[in-house]
Amino acid sequence: MMRNSTDLIVDQLAAELRPVKPLRSPIVYAALWLSVSTVFVGILVAHHGMRPDIGALLAEPGYRMLFLACAGTAVLGAIATFLVSLPDRSPYWALLPLPALALWFAGTGIGCYADWVQFGSGGMMTGTSFGCLGWIIAASLPLDVLLVVMIRHAAFVRPRLALTIGMMSAAALASAGLMLFHEIETTLMIFIWHGAAVLFLSGLAGAGVPVFRRLAGSA
């Protein structure tokens, strides 16, 4: 009995199929990115040399909370990035870094209060520290490039969301590294200039979507 045309078309399509390699767990990818990125930032910190008073600073509640918030934002942001980059995962995973961001604000409040008690109104001076902004951005860019390569499959899924969270994560990790060696005077300065770098890099996500898709399409 002759087979109908539908069966022949199905057979032809099936013959051209290639096995699809399933993606690993997003947690595995996040851990890999965090490991490589932490080593990279650690090398930069070692190059500059740790602050001699870093032990005393981390013993202070405000500074310690800010550092932990930066590191926590980086870790939770990385996990959220790889989760939202998959079409079968909920976009609400983007909310995962929010507790760390809340801790960042809380740590800033405690640190600013401690500065006020110790230094008076001088503890609330912001000053200018464009070096902080530039260092965080420069240190984050290689991390962003690695991240884009690893989540290129998200270019046609949730590119803006994945890039925004990913760049925030990279900036937060660089910010945590900067706190280990850079001598910045007040907690408020840390919040303003480090926060500006995070916002700037996260804001680049929208502009980077067309490039992201172009790179993914050529891969």
Q: Is the pLDDT of residue 124 over 50?
A: no
Average pLDDT over residues 101-111: 71
pLDDT band at residue 140, thresholds of 50, 70 and 90?
confident
pLDDT at position 136, please? Answer: 80
113-135 burial string, b = 16+ CB within 10 Å, else e?
Answer: ebbbeeeeeebeeeeebeebbeb
Closest CA to 60 of 126, 105, 115, 102: 115
Measured over the CA atoms of residue 9, residue 11, residue 12 and residue 16, the dihedral's sign is positive
Distances from the Cα of 106 to the Cα of 63, 69, 133, 169, 189, angstroms: 11, 9, 22, 19, 15
Query: In this predicted model, what pLDDT tens digit does every residue of 156-187 receive, in sequence order?
Result: 778 888 888 998 899 889 888 888 887 665 55
Q: Between 64 and 117, whose confidence is greater?
A: 64
pLDDT band at residue 2, thresholds of 50, 70 and 90?
very low
Q: Is the pLDDT of residue 76 over 70?
A: yes
Mean pLDDT of the chain: 77
Query: In this predicted model, what pLDDT tens digit does every residue of 46-69 receive, in sequence order?
Result: 998 998 888 888 888 777 888 888
pLDDT at position 80, please? Answer: 96
> CB burial class (10 A; 0-12, 13-18, 19+) of residue 183?
exposed
Average pLDDT over residues 31-41: 96
Highest mean pLDDT among 79-83, 165-169, 197-201: 79-83
Give the number of other CB atoms < 10 A from CB of residue 59: 10
